[in-house]
Amino acid sequence: MAVIGFIKNLDSHPELSSILNDICFAWLEGIMRAKIDYFQNLNDWKDLERWPSGRIFGPSCEYRWRSSQDEGLNVVLIMDERDLPGSFEGKVIIEKTRDENMILWGDWINPEIDKDSNPDGSARFYAPELPLIQSYPLPSDDTQKPNHSPVLCIRRYQCSSMDEKGGLQGEFARCVNVTMAPTDQ
């Protein structure tokens, strides 16, 4: 069983040291800017001016936040196997139902074709729909697999919980991993 909890109206991020070793990736959102990266590469993820919303995640948990001038910082923590840290309220028990892949934007930029856009052959993908170059936290060798696309693995949970305030039903989803997956399935 997994649990989900939240805290509302904070001025800054709560104490999270108990989960940070389980975090591998970050999805950060700023004004006119967003990025997905390895968590270890980021030292500014807590900067609410730069990243007013986002999520940090790994195989066993996800912490997400949204900050606004009206409501302050609202945070959610989903844990797959451990209990929530004491500062989180609204504990709801949820059941994992399935993992799914969400295809990320872009095609790998082959440095043999476009050396200027990807000089080191890294995990850089061009998305003409945006139009932007996206860098994803993937090993360079994986990006070159034929018939594969970058994906964000999403874990879905079903909730039908009753507490003293009544019932809560629905589905929660959290990020788990960033990887390459076959496109011909």
Number of domains observed in the structure of the chain: 1
115 belongs to a structural domain: no
Question: pTM above 0.75?
Answer: yes
172 belongs to a structural domain: no
Q: Residue 160 pLDDT more than 70?
A: no
116 belongs to a structural domain: no
Q: Which domain holds residue 58?
A: 2-94
Q: What is the average pLDDT score of the chain?
A: 89
Mind spelling out the 3-state secondary structure of the chain? Answer: CEEEEEEEEECCCCCCCCCHHHCCEEEEEECCEEEEEEHHHCCCCCCCCCCCEEEEECCCEEEEEEEECCCEEEEEEEECCCCCCCCCEEEEEEEEEEEEEEECCCEECCCCCCCCCCCCCCCEEEECCCCEEEECCCCHHHHCCCCEEEEEEEEEEEEEEEECCEEEEEEEEEEEEEEEEECCC
pLDDT of residue 28: 96
143 belongs to a structural domain: no
What pLDDT, in 10s, does the model give residues 61-95? 999 999 988 889 999 999 998 888 888 887 787 88
40 belongs to a structural domain: yes
113 belongs to a structural domain: no
35-61: average pLDDT: 96
